[in-house]
Structure 1
Amino acid sequence: MAKFTKKKQGDLPEVSTASLPDIVFMLLFFFMTVTTMKDSELMIKNELPFADQVQTLDKKDRVIYIYAGQPSSRYQDKFGTLPKIQLNDKFANVDEVANYVLAERASKREELQNVLTTALKVDYETNMGLVSDIKQELRKVNALKINYTTRSGSAFENVN
């Protein structure tokens, strides 16, 4: 007759790691497909001015970006050399700024809609008239929290 043996207390079976590489690659492919690398392509010349009192914005999800400057050499044949406004991936007129800000505000979560900051990334050679027109449009939609994006340095470096 066969003799039965009793298992020892405390013996745990080994954990199989055969499926571990499959899980790692599945997670890798998932993050590769859902991660966005860049929001928009810069279609203007955007050399930011210098400022000596610079602060960084902590929460980037609360920022709406508006770019202004001369079209880059790639787009000058089609749009000329006068300073333009870029909203996301297209050139826009001044009167389109208000609708853009309202659309961006509506796309944010409800608790963020009242704390949004509008960041103006304006080329240092752009005239102040265009910036003033943008600010007038922002006032129409009550987007009064404005940030001027700059580079850190002495403000005297802006003078040619």
Structure 2
Amino acid sequence: MSKFRKKKKGMPAVNTASLPDIVFMLLFFFMVTTTMRETDLKLENPKLPSATEVQKLEHKSLVSTIYVGKSKDPARHGVGFNRIQLNDKIATAADVPAFIINSRSKVSEAEVPFMTTSIKADKESNVGTIIDIRLKLRDANALKISYSASKAVDN
């Protein structure tokens, strides 16, 4: 009898030594590339009006967005398309100057002239509400206004 027996050859075990490295690389990749939404919409997603000449806004960090549309919770915020959302709360047109002053306080003094106010209004929104917002923006000396629109599809 021999002292050395031959072992049965089978499939070698799968090497899992590099698995934690791969998992952490994927985790790090998604943490770096994911952007978090800054505001939680309390209004229904606005159906933007269509336009033929659409331009993208530069310097999105200098854009303050005002949403106008229909509330997701009409029992709490009221019925109609003339609800205004500033940051994460439903507001009125009278709250717009305080919103602009708060936005200006978050940026340096040199960037204040480049700040833009974007109005994302549903196409069924009341024009009177948008005019009220514009008047309050004028009072706050926020004269750069952008109206969000979707690009018109040519047939």
TM-score, normalised via structure 2 length: 0.75
Asked if residue 81 in structure 1 is aligned to residue 86 in structure 2, the reply is no
Corresponding residue number in structure 2 for 1:10:
none
Q: What letter corresponds to residue 117 of structure 1 in structure 2?
A: T
Indicate yes or no: 2:65 matched with 1:65.
Answer: yes
Structure 1 residues 92-116: Cα deviation after superposition (integer angstroms, max 9, x where no partner): 0110000001100111122211210
| Map 1:80-159 → 2, pairs under 5 A | 80-82=78-80, 83-153=82-152
Q: How far apart are residue 128 of structure 1 and its match?
A: 0.6
Aligned CA distance change for structure 1 residues 50 and 140 (closer, same or farther; 3 Å): same
Query: What is the RMSD computed on CA atoms of the aligned residues?
Result: 2.6
Residue 49 in structure 1 maps to residue 54 in structure 2: no
Instruction: Write the letter of the residue equivalent to 1:118.
Output: T
C-alpha distance in 2 between matches for 1:28 and 1:107: 31
Shift of 1:25: 3.7
Q: Which runs of 4+ in 1 moved over 4 A?
A: 26-31
- Map Cα deviations across residues 11-68 of structure 1 (whole Å, 9 max, x no partner): xxxxxxxxxx77x9499569839x6511111111211110111111122111110000
Give the 3-state SS of the residue equivalent to 1:105 in structure 2. helix
Which one-letter code corresponds to 1:71 in the other structure? S
Provide the residue aligned with 1:16 in structure 2: none
Can you give the 5+ residue segments of structure 2 that lack an aligned partner in the other structure?
Answer: 1-19
Judged with a 3 Å threshold, the aligned counterparts in structure 2 of structure 1 residues 26 and 108 are, in CA distance, closer, same or farther, namely farther
Report SS of the residue matched to 2:79.
Answer: coil
* CA–CA distance in structure 1, aligned partners of residues 27 and 104 of structure 2: 32
**Alignment-mate amino acid for residue 37 of structure 1:** M
Give the distance between the partners of 1:58 and 1:115, measured in 2 at CA: 10
Equivalent AA in structure 1 for residue 135 of structure 2: Q
For 1:77, the aligned partner's letter is A
Aligned length in residues: 134
The percentage of aligned residue pairs carrying the same residue is 41
Corresponding residue for residue 8 of structure 2: none
The residue type paired with residue 66 of structure 1 is I
Pairwise CA distance, 1:137: 0.3
